[in-house]
Every structure is written in C-alpha cells, then in structure tokens.
Copies of this chain bind each other. A is one copy, B any other.
Amino acid sequence: MMRPYEHKAQYYETDQMKVVHHSNYIRWFEEARTDFMGQIGLPYRQMEEKGIIVPVLSVKCDYKSMTRFEEVVEVYTYVKKFNGIRMEFSYEIRDKKTGEVRVTGESGHCFLDPDYHLLSIKKKFPDYFKVYKSYEGKTDLYEEGKGYE
C-alpha cells in the first residue's frame, strides 16, 4: 500500500484571510506528485537526470474547505489516465485529523526531452511506461480509512 503525502500548513502559506492561500494547493499537488513518483520507484529527480522533463499542461482545483496555520493535510494522489504520451493525475487533499476534504484537483502532463521535444515514454523508456501503466485508473492505492486518525 502507498501512504498519502503529508504537509503541515506554514505561516508563510497563509494570507490575510487567515487561511492557506489558494495558490499553495497547486504546489502541494506537486509535492505529493513527486512523493508519489518516489514511492513507485521513479523519483522525479532521477527522471530529469535521464533527460525526461515532465511539464504541467493543465491544472484544476476545487476548494471545498479552508486550511489553517499548523494544520496537517494528507494528499492522496492517483494516476487517472496514462497513454505514454500524456498523463493525468488526480488529487484529494484532506485534513489529517478530521478527514474533511479540503481540495480536489487534477493535473495534466506530457513528457519532453532536454530539447523540449515530445517524448514517447513507451518507446524510449519502456520500463517506466510499465510502472505508470500499472497505476492507471487504480483507486485502491491507499489503506482504507488511512486518511482518518
């Protein structure tokens, strides 16, 4: 089983509404996504060192409730779609203590080589392709109830 990514809301992430500024959730998606890649054995840093760049093509975020300073959230990350050319992640951010959903969202990605040309993961990195493919559409990655203390 995988473990959700944990993040503690920092003071500098709050704004004068006294909650976490909405732009930070996009950054927490990224934190969770790189953690997810590490957990499945394909750390993003290693991918970049092999010449694979994974830019963000789109992002979507629905804000359901607010996070306050020093609260801990858990980010559940899923591979929604993957065809070797494009990849879509989905995310659910919940308060660690109560399980209340804070934010849901998605991000779309492609793969580029160091010259910023489209890269077919399937052809060039078949091992990576297999790993990602094995997670596509799977929603039972995390232990049931794991998100609730």
Docked CA distance A19–B53 (Å): 12
Q: Are A30 and B10 in contact (CB under 8 A)?
A: yes
Docked CA distance A52–B27 (Å): 27
A residues neighboring B (CB under 8 Å)? 10-12, 14-19, 21-24, 26-27, 30-31, 34, 38, 43-45, 48, 53, 55-63, 66, 68-70
Query: Of the candidates B14, B34, B63, which one forms a contact with A16 in the assembled complex, judged by CB atoms under 8 Å apart?
Result: B14
How often does this chain occur in the complex, in copies? 4
Given A58-B62, A70-B45, A12 contacting B30 (CB threshold 8 A):
yes
Q: Are A15 and B15 in contact (CB under 8 A)?
A: yes
Which residues of the partner chain B approach A55 to less than 8 Å between Cβ atoms?
17, 22, 63, 66
Docked CA distance A48–B17 (Å): 10
Docked CA distance A45–B16 (Å): 11
